[in-house]
Amino acid sequence: MDPLRLVRDYTIKGLIQRSTCDETHIHLDEHNSLPRKSSTNYKSKMGARGFLTVEAIWFFVRSYGANPGQAHAAYMKEALAAKTAAISLIDRKDLLEFLTGVADTSANIDLTVPAFTLPDDAVAVGAKRPRDEAGGEDAAAREAGMSSAAGAAKDPTPVERTLHTRNSILQCNKDFSSVLAFFGTATGKDAAGGGGGKGRT
């Protein structure tokens, strides 16, 4: 489905003024409805605005159809009163020429992205995500692992560690015979050598 093309077709045929809307959808007729907050692939020249929504484009072209000579400032006031995102003056001419059939296409239509993107809140509460369906038991296992990890984080087991203080270090074994043996000198020989030296002096 390409909502931008649908709105364009209904505009060219003079049927756009018959379309209606409710809180969530725009109804072009009894058979074609579009989520209001869904995004099209028409990118605004105002970088921060990103891709225009179906709601913004539909409200804009209906406002123009009702009053073709209307100033852009008056349209902006209507959009503000209706709590609808307004089309900028920079985008107005290009978008209007495309929607009314004056131009066959627009450089602002990004063909590298989907023509129709649902808003994030359109996923029903409790509905399975596609990756969960594809993962099957693996997804369930991942969820179980995450739950176990979360439980472990909430209830950590104390770990006993040896505490080293100045007093504990001073109370250590002071027998350095093994150290002296490492350098090839025995404790007994050191003692004897020390005594002999004293006798010779």
Distance, CA of 138 to CA of 116 (rounded, Å) = 31
Tokens read off for 146 = 């995450």
Q: Which of 117-124's residues contact partners 24+ apart within 8 Å by CB, and which partners?
A: 117/38, 117/39, 117/51, 118/35, 118/38, 119/35, 119/37, 119/38, 119/39, 121/37, 122/35, 122/37, 122/38
- Tens of pLDDT, residue by residue over 24-82, are 999 999 999 999 999 999 999 987 679 999 999 999 999 999 999 999 999 999 999 99
- Whole-prediction pTM: 0.59
Closest CA to 94 of 106, 77, 84, 76: 106
Contact between residue 116 and residue 2 where contact means Cβ atoms under 8 Å apart: yes
When the pLDDT of each residue in the chain is averaged and rounded to a whole number, the result is: 76
Contact between residue 69 and residue 15 where contact means Cβ atoms under 8 Å apart: no
Is a pLDDT exceeding 80 seen at residue 192?
Answer: no
pLDDT of residue 118: 87
Is a pLDDT exceeding 70 seen at residue 10?
Answer: yes
Is a pLDDT exceeding 60 seen at residue 181?
Answer: yes
Is a pLDDT exceeding 60 seen at residue 132?
Answer: no
Distance, CA of 54 to CA of 5 (rounded, Å) = 11
Share of the chain above pLDDT 90, in %: 51
pLDDT of residue 165: 59
